[in-house]
Structure 1
Amino acid sequence: MHLPGGISLRVERRALVVGVLLTVLAFALAVLLTGTGDFQIAPWDVVQTLLGNGTPANDFIVNDLRLPRVLVALLVGAALGMAGAVFQSVSRNPLGSPDLLGFGYGSVVGALVVIILFKGDATAVAAGALVGGLLAGAAVYLLAYKQGIQGYRLVLVGIGASAVLIAVIQYLITKAQMIEATRAMVWLTGSLAGRDWAQVWPLLGVCAVLFPLVLGQGRALRMMEMGDDAAYALGVRVERTRLLLMLAAILLTTAASAAAGPISFVALAAPQLARRLTRSPGGNLLTAALMGAVLLMVSDWASQWAFGADQLPVGVVTGLVGGVYLLWLLVTERKAGRI
């Protein structure tokens, strides 16, 4: 594709088609999810309400009660999908995911410290999750660094960090009073219930800054998948680029956890599903983000449709589906001789 000024842009047709279809599917799911609940609203009425032509009752239900939850689901899924794509490309390993590398558990520890030890409010919990995730990310990066970052070393260090952080989580819960322990367990499940505009705007700001930053490094990330030496030869500043991308992915992961709690396996599954659909090498960053948004909204809709609104947190659904996916991925990788 040739743009004005002599600039050329390489677009893979299959990836473009998949991206457009996922965008349409995400919009359709957002409309369907906005109309789902104890008071059902038809999709056409949802669209009319979003355009400012709805009844006062529909306007209150859609814009004040349900739209923030849907937007949080979309943004959290997209953030986790893109973060997972970055980690899997950097580690050159399909198991390279925030779920397994300890960053998500770092956010959990940070949030639980605020809940159990300081009895903080929702804003303080979100800040604790952000700080905990960043500290865990810094620790994993430093422990895995040895004349650069090697993929399997990063995964192994991340798994070890996850085990330590899980032990810390269990210790904190056992030391908590009943009220704090109950609040901690509710947060630990990962839920979109009760989300409002206070969660939407900070998450939207993080995504608005970091998505273009990560996408701008997509070409360098694709070169790094060929190996550090090849990337150096092609002019990529490998360590600087890797550190920048990992920092952005950690921020996306922790921001998602701060908004909705720990949502498992979306970051693991979305990039692999996107790659299989596009049949394209590289991170498939934008497609992975769209796939993550679709996966989380489908999970939220399924939980409400099957169990009623807010009876089953979306984190439980993604955990069930993701566990099956992880087993399939491990079997596939073993058959391919990669693990």
Structure 2
Amino acid sequence: MTNTNVNIVRAGFYKRRIRYIAVTVVLTVFTAILCSAMLYLGNTRYSPEVILRVLLGEQVKGAAFAIGTIRLPRMLAGLLAGMAFGMAGNTFQTMLRNPLASPDIIGVSSGSGVAAVFCILVLKVSGNIVSISAVIAGLSVAFLIYALSRGGSFSGGRLILIGIGMQAMLNAVISFLLLRANQYDVPAALRWLSGSLNGMKMEDIPALFIVVLLFGCLLVFFGRQLKILELGEQSAVTLGLRTDRTRLLLVLCAVFLIAYATAVTGPIAFVAFLAGPIAGRMAGAGNSNTIPAGLTGAVLVLLADIIGQYAFDIRFPVGIITGILGAPYLIYLLIRMNRTGGAA
């Protein structure tokens, strides 16, 4: 390779790197603006000075309750859950090389949903028991889908088809539980199923923060291996990657993120599905999109919650707004894949 070719390759690398950093910075700033807006907006609006005093621990009359007890937990839950959904969705889509391979499309979120609804309606419990049950169920469904999709060798297309079938079955189980439940318990389950940040408490945040920090950092660490898997099974093996072990670790991290976030906020529709493709379009190729996808997921959740709370006469849960945004994209993607013979 001549020096000229080397310089061209190096220039292309730096150009992609600068674009990646710029997109990440812009998404970070936009996320910070939305977080500030969630702390500011409400029936009573406080000055930035008062908000800062409350965040620093000062007990300002009226503001301490409104900001510290209601708005701050809601904002943190939206931020962390959005990042979890975004990173998990991007991991599945990149690993399986298919934009349809989102946890809320292939049944992982529905697995957590069945466990949570069963706890709410049948066992009549809440809190940590619901979270633990949702994580266990999400992991169990993910590994069942993974095991069924292996056959003689791993197939991403087979995994997606099995996951879609599993999702249909699990959604039927949820419908059965709702029909058999006491009518007075159903509204609580429906609010959870719609995906909502209402009623968030500071007690819900520390565990969610630890899960997002731990497994999010692991996904960032495995970003290079994830990009190698995107090249395909044969290419990854040729490059010396232990594909089965790497894929298992990535699935484990992504499922923990999606299952715990789902347990806290409910299955916020289409965030995991939308975040990765949007981040990929903005950040471009050549870099791991884990961080931009996480930030995009946070932006989607926070923005959708603000729209749902303040753009209409009636307040809508965040999952309703993200569902309205995601459904047209899903239809567009299916039409596009049909026209191109299955290529996204």
Report the TM-score, using the length of structure 2 for normalisation.
0.90
Counterpart position of 2:10: none
2:321 is the counterpart of 1:317? yes
Q: Structure 1 unaligned runs (5+)?
A: 1-8
* Residue 126 of structure 1: aligned partner: 131
Aligned to 2:342, what secondary structure does the other structure show? coil
1:162, CA displacement in angstroms?
0.5
Q: Aligned runs of 1:59-70 on 2, under 5 Å?
A: 59-70=64-75
Task: Report what 1:220 is aligned to.
Answer: 225
Could you say if the C-alpha distance between residues 325 and 54 of structure 1 is closer, same or farther in structure 2, counting changes exceeding 3 Å? farther
Match of 1:327 in 2: 331
Aligned to 2:9: none
Match of 1:135 in 2: 140
SS in 1 for 2:185: helix
Distance across 1 between alignment mates of 2:65 and 2:254:
35
Structure 2 distance, partners of 1:47, 1:93, is 43
Distance 1:113 1:52 in 2: 38
Q: Is the 1:225–1:282 Cα contact (8 Å) retained in structure 2?
A: no
1:98-124 CA-to-partner distances (Å, cap 9, x unmatched) read 111100000110011112221112332
Instruction: Give the distance between the partners of 1:23 and 1:335, measured in 2 at CA.
Output: 36
Structure 1: distance between partners of 2:232 and 2:20: 24
Partners of 2:88 and 2:258 within 8 A in 1: yes
TM norm structure 1: 0.92
Of all paired residues, the percent bearing the same amino acid is: 37
Matches within 5 A, 1:12-161: 12-43=17-48, 45-47=50-52, 49-51=54-56, 55-161=60-166
CA distance in structure 1 between the partners assigned to 2:50 and 2:220 by the alignment: 35
User: For 1:217 and 1:148, how far apart are their aligned partners in 2?
Assistant: 23
- What is the RMSD computed on CA atoms of the aligned residues? 2.0
* Cα 1:211–1:57 shift into 2, 3 Å: same
Other-structure match for 1:5 = none
Q: How many residue pairs align between the two structures?
A: 330
Q: Distance in 1 between matches of 2:134 and 2:313?
A: 29
Q: Does 1:261 align with 2:269?
A: no
AA aligned to 1:112 is V
State whether residues 271 and 283 of structure 1, in contact with CA within 8 Å, keep that contact through their aligned partners in structure 2.
Answer: no
Is 1:296 matched up with 2:301? yes
Q: Deviations for 1:141-162, whole angstroms, at most 9, x for unmatched residues?
A: 1111124422111110100101
Contact 1:81-1:293 within 8 A present in 2 as well: yes
Cα deviation for residue 127 of structure 1 reads 2.3
Gaps of 5+ in 2: 1-12
Separation of aligned partners in 2, 1:253 and 1:122: 17
Segment of structure 1 superposing worse, 324-333 or 81-90? 324-333
> Partners in 1 of 2:77 and 2:245 — Cα distance?
31
In structure 2, the partner of 1:175 is: 180
The more displaced of 44-53 and 130-139 is 44-53
Question: What displacement does 1:49 show?
Answer: 4.1
Q: Does structure 2 conserve the Cα–Cα contact (< 8 Å) formed by 1:78 and 1:291?
A: yes
